[in-house]
A = this chain, B = another copy of it.
C-alpha cells in the first residue's frame, strides 16, 4: 500500500474500518504554527456519520493528538492524531469474506493480499479512512488560511438534483465561509432539501445514487505547481483519489473543454487594478500545471454507493461459483453527501505541500 502523500510535508494514514484505531501522521509542518483544535473538531464533525441521509454508525471521531503539539503550537515533530474505533460491529461483514460485494474493493483486495486482507467493513479500503484524511486536511486548511488561501466545496449534484455553481471569476470568500459552516454544504438551500429527499427515496428503494462535489480555492498566488509530474492537476488528483468512489475529476471546464473551439475556450488576459486576471475562468485557475492566481475550480464525480439493500449477483470465492448477495451493514445511500469535507481535506493537503515546495524551489513571491 502507499498510505503516504507529499514531498515537503508527508501525510501517512493508518488503520482499518473495524480495527482498534485509525489515524494519521503529518510530518514537515513548520514549528510555531497554532492549531485551533476546536475548529479542527468542528471540521471533523462535518464528515462524521449520523446525519440525515448518512450511515447510522455513530462515533465521536474525536482526534487525540499524541505528538507534535506543545501548548497548542506545532513543535516541529510529526503531528500524530489517533481516532479510536468505538462503535464496531463486525458480525455484519463475516459472510462477505467469501462473497465479494460488487463494485467494492473486496475482490481485488482478496487477490492482492492473498486472502489476508481485513474484510471487516472494507478494512483499509473503507471510507472510514477519510476520518484521518480530514484530520490532516483540517490542519493544512488552517495553515493555508494563514497564507491567505481559503477553500470550500459544495454538493454540485446528488442524483439528478443540481446545486448552483460557484462564480468562476468573482466568487466571494463569504460564500466559502458559509459553506464551511453548513451541515449539508450547498449554495442553494432548496437544492439541499431535494438532495436529502432523493437520497432517502433511493434508500427506501434499496438503492443508492451518485453525486458530484465542486471545490473552489481562493487566494492562491500564481505560479504554484511542479509540472510536468507534480503539476497542480497531477498532485490534486493524486490526493483526491484517496477519497473513495471518485471516478472522474474536471479541472475548470474539464470534459466540456474537449467539445469547445479554442476561440470559445481561451480566457483572455486583462489588467485590473494593477493585477493580471483572466476575463473568464474556463481554465479553472490552472495552466501548464501552475496556478494562475484565478480561483481554482474542480469537480469530483462520485459513483453511487456500491452497497445497496437489493439482492445482487456475486460469486463465492471458495466455491468459485455464482451466488446471490444481500448486503447488510450500515451505509450512506449517497457517498457524495458526506464527501465534501473529504474533498476539501485532500485538496488542502496537496496544495499546502505544493505551496511549501514552490517556496523551496525559489518562487519569488513566497521566499
Contact = CB atoms under 8 A, between A and B. Distances in A.
Query: Which of A82, A262, A321, A357 gathers the greatest number of chain B CB atoms within 10 Å?
Result: A262
A176 interface: no
Closest 3 CB pairs of A and B: A105-B288, A30-B362, A2-B230
Given A105-B288, A202-B261, A357-B360, 10 more contacts: A4-B10, A12-B12, A12-B27, A30-B361, A31-B114, A31-B362, A82-B82, A108-B222, A247-B258, A269-B314
Interface residues of A, number: 160
A322 B4 CA distance: 45
How many copies the complex holds: the figure is 4
A55 interface: no
23 contacts: A8-B357, A12-B25, A15-B67, A15-B77, A25-B25, A30-B361, A32-B362, A66-B82, A67-B124, A105-B288, A107-B222, A107-B287, A111-B222, A111-B293, A112-B223, A112-B225, A159-B261, A209-B260, A248-B249, A258-B336, A260-B304, A266-B312, A268-B312
A5 interface: yes
Interface in A283-325: 283-284, 287-293, 301-308, 310, 312-315, 317, 320-322
A190 to B, nearest CB: 20
B315 A223 contact: no
Name the residue in A65, A283, A301, A310 with the highest tally of chain B Cβ atoms < 10 Å from its Cβ: A301
A231 to B, nearest CB: 6
A247 B221 CA distance: 20
Contacts of A247: 233, 250-255, 257-258, 284
Given A1-B226, A100-B269, A357-B360, A291 B108 contact: yes
